[in-house]
Structure 1
Amino acid sequence: MCLLKTWVRSAVALTFLSGAAFADVTVSQSNDPTASLGGHLSALLGAERTALGSLPTHRLEAMAGAVKRATGKADAAPAAPRLDERWLATQPVPAASREWQCLATALYFEARGEPIEGQVAVAEVILNRVDSPGYPRSICGVVHQGGQFSYTFDGQPDTIREKAAFQRAGKIAAAMLAGAPRALTQGATHFHTRAVRPGWAHRFPRTAAIGGHLFYRQPGS
């Protein structure tokens, strides 16, 4: 609040300088600016501080908001949350839906051994694909697109045996569907484990390395 008051006071001082008070300074300059300019400015700024100090806080905040709107400067975007156990504990129990089921299942089979950030990063890839041209327009469509996610075509039954791990993946999936920031992978559309090196990895720019996965963004996506 002190910074806000100081900033507003400085802005208003410029307004005062453009009026009658500035005319006084101009007259002094025509006589002997080196002798009197400093004194006039000190007196002027002292009067300005006294005047602004008498204004209530809500008036100062309103003046700051008016200047901000006039200059077109918006408030800074809120910082992305820290993706840790405390964050996960604040997430609500997910409401089941087909899209949630597809995302949670993909996180379980592709990244359940990863830390929270690693699972969020994989969720970002899936959601980024939904938003990108050339991919299905739904999470289930992306997940089950032929040859994309290994657990869908490895010939093994998709049996969820680790209930706690699936609950964890489910909460992460729900948070991402609810609009949690995608701030980890810089728009990645692909990922692979560090143990393999698919051909496309040579052509796509790498955007992140999180846990056991490397992330890439397909050009044009």
Structure 2
Amino acid sequence: MIKAFVFALAALAVAVPAFAEVKQDNIRRLVKLEKRGLQSTTKTHLDGLITPVSTGAARGFAYDAGWLARQPAANGGTQWQCLAEALYFEARGETVRGQFAVAEVILNRVDSPRFPNSVCGVINQGTGRKYACQFTYTCDGHPEHINEPAAWERVAKIAKVMLSGAPRALTNGATYYHTHAVRPSWSRKFTRTAAIGDHLFYRAGYRLSSN
């Protein structure tokens, strides 16, 4: 059954457009699910494990302001807009590396069953309840304005590159982060995966030791 399942997955990979790929780690995840007794996997779930890759997005890719400056001006649809706005209001004062790291967290959440399955869904989760949302700027009751064109141009490019399939190599799968200025209660339980700029990054899973 497992071989048949992997063969079916491979067939799906061939069937999707040429600008997409199925990551090897996702194939391994699906095989593990099959071993645990998963009898069927919906096309929607499989599609969620297919990462679009732009032919030029990752060419010469670097977490570098110079590389980013050479990329064309970015625009896109609703999901791009949501990600760019989140990076602007959450991390525009960070380094390029730090902004990419925040983008990783958002996209890691999209891939996680713990969170909504779209960029806008992740970013707006909890919005409507003041200060009860995941990203404070969406629920603090204050209007948000983009007043720094250069900062917007930079995060817009980062959002485009990340949505086009750039690697997520900075946070080791993090789905949470906070600034050095605070210490939320969950940070004492989750596994810290990285420290980049003004942010500390974590993924869910209780620590085995405090050492």
Give 1 or 2: higher helix fraction: 1
Corresponding position: 1:170 with 2:153? no
- 1:120-135 to 2 correspondences below 5 Å: 120-135=100-115
Corresponding position: 1:154 with 2:140? yes
Deviations 1:16-35 (A, max 9, x none): xxxxxxxxxxxxxxxxxxxx
> Take 1:95 and 1:123, find their aligned partners in 2: how far apart are those partners?
16
Query: Is the CA contact (8 Å cut-off) linking 2:178 and 2:201 kept in structure 1?
Result: yes
Identity percentage of aligned residues: 62
Query: Is the CA contact (8 Å cut-off) linking 1:189 and 1:215 kept in structure 2?
Result: yes
Report the number of matched residues.
143
Corresponding position: 1:201 with 2:201? no
SS at 2:150's partner residue? helix
Give 1 or 2: higher strand fraction: 2
Once the two structures are TM-superposed, the CA of residue 112 in structure 1 deviates from its matched residue by 0.2
Once the two structures are TM-superposed, the CA of residue 153 in structure 1 deviates from its matched residue by 1.0
TM-score (norm 1): 0.62
Once the two structures are TM-superposed, the CA of residue 141 in structure 1 deviates from its matched residue by 0.2
Higher relative contact order (CA 8 A, sep 6+): 2
Amino acid aligned to 1:183: A
| Aligned alpha-carbon RMSD (Å) | 1.8
Larger-gyration structure (1/2) = 1
For structure 1, which runs of at least 5 residues remain unmatched after alignment?
A: 1-77
Corresponding position: 1:136 with 2:116? yes
TM-score (norm 2): 0.65
Query: Is the CA contact (8 Å cut-off) linking 2:75 and 2:156 kept in structure 1?
Result: no
SS at 1:161's partner residue? coil
Once the two structures are TM-superposed, the CA of residue 91 in structure 1 deviates from its matched residue by 2.3
Deviations 1:7-48 (A, max 9, x none): xxxxxxxxxxxxxxxxxxxxxxxxxxxxxxxxxxxxxxxxxx
